[in-house]
Amino acid sequence: MILDAQAYRLIGFTLAFALVLRLLALPQPLVLLNPDWVLLVLIYWCLTFPERFGIGLAWLTGLWVDAATGPLLGQHALIYALVAYCCVRFHTRLRVFPLGQQLPLILLFLLGAQLLLFCLEALRGRPLLLWSYWLPCLTGTLAWPLVLAGCGFLKRRHLPTI
């Protein structure tokens, strides 16, 4: 039970840190490159602890991101829950892939999430689609090794028996 509490605290800390990275006030050219750090960390925890972090917590995380970023309440919750479903459903296959094979799948998850976000924004009447809209998917894919290393280090350090 103590390990479960420690695991949830670690997951909460990493998600909060990812949200801070997402909300950083960056100069305009760098804002276009800022990936969805929360989604990357969410993918990591869904692949690492599918029994502890699944669709429900991903949905709550999405609501938390919606409340912090100010878009339509529930859009990130829907997207994160769908990505979490895919990660949990195929976690036994995905987590054994080497990094080179994980990167295209992470890109696919990020592109799918960005496409769903675009569809939801288009339904709201804002169908602006520039090439720069897809840049966070590319930078998120390139940031995946950092997320793997950082979250993996924290997991080994704070949850050695899990």
d(CA 81, CA 4): 22
Q: What is the mean pLDDT of residues 131-136?
A: 87
Residues ≥6 apart with Cβ < 8 Å to 39? 79, 80, 83, 109, 110, 113, 140
**At 106, is the pLDDT very low, low, confident or very high (cuts 50, 70, 90)?**
very high
Contact 135, 26 (CB under 8 A): no
Question: What is the reported pLDDT for 130?
Answer: 78
User: Is the model's pLDDT at 98 over the cut of 90?
Assistant: yes
Taking the complete model, does pTM exceed 0.85, yes or no? yes
Give me the percent of the chain exceeding a pLDDT of 70. Answer: 96
User: Is the model's pLDDT at 3 over the cut of 90?
Assistant: no
- What one-character DSSP code corresponds to residue 25? -
d(CA 116, CA 29): 24
Helix/strand/coil for 127 = coil
Q: What is the mean pLDDT of residues 11-39?
A: 91
